[in-house]
Amino acid sequence: MISKSFSKTGARCQVTFKLKLEDPTVAVSVLGDFNDWTPGVHTLSLRKSGHLGTSISLPANQRFAYKFLTADGQWLNDDAADDYIANEWGETNSIVDTSTITASIQSTTPGKKVTAKASSPKKKAVKASKQPAAGKKITKKAPKKSRAKV
């Protein structure tokens, strides 16, 4: 699972990689294009949520292939990655996309993708008229004239 936040300038993207394992004591690293696929550079630590996680600052508007690697040599894909791409080993790598447009459409449910919908045009407010609604009859009484004695 990944979550993203951007710097004020939009030039950097803080990506948090999270992984839920049955045994959270297993040592895990995240390897990818951003660290030349070097084990141990970005290790995941146990979070209060029970997930393993680490955060990395990456350049915005780029796509990075990555995978998780356990201490026993098992490669794991992220089931909530932005995308997937075939690798030279006949398997797939996870993709994190740091484009600002894709990051603003993040899913809140792991494993489900969210697609953006064009918003419908705003409806113009109808001004209220002073005329009575159809079917209602309004009667006004004429004001009484005062009779002055002459």
Q: What is the pLDDT of residues 74-104, one digit of tens each?
A: 999 999 999 999 999 899 999 999 997 644 4
Q: What share of the chain is helix, strand, coil (3-state, %, to 5)?
A: 5, 35, 65
Non-local CB neighbours of 100 within 8 Å, separated by 6+ positions: 6, 10, 60, 61
Q: What pLDDT shows up at residue 78?
A: 95
Q: What is the pLDDT of residues 17-66, one digit of tens each?
A: 999 988 877 899 999 999 999 999 999 999 888 889 999 999 999 999 99
pLDDT bucket at 133, cuts 50 / 70 / 90: low
Interatomic CA distance for residues 96 and 17, integer angstroms: 10
Cβ atoms of residues 67 and 94 within 8 Å = yes
Reported pTM: 0.64
User: Where are the alpha helices (H) located in 15-76, listed in sequence order?
Assistant: none
Structural domains present in the chain: 2-103 (2.60.40.10)
Q: What pLDDT shows up at residue 24?
A: 76
Interatomic CA distance for residues 51 and 44, integer angstroms: 9
- Identify the H or E element spanning 30: strand 28-32
Q: Is the model more confident about 115 or about 21?
A: 21
Q: Is the model more confident about 147 or about 48?
A: 48
Q: What pLDDT shows up at residue 59?
A: 94
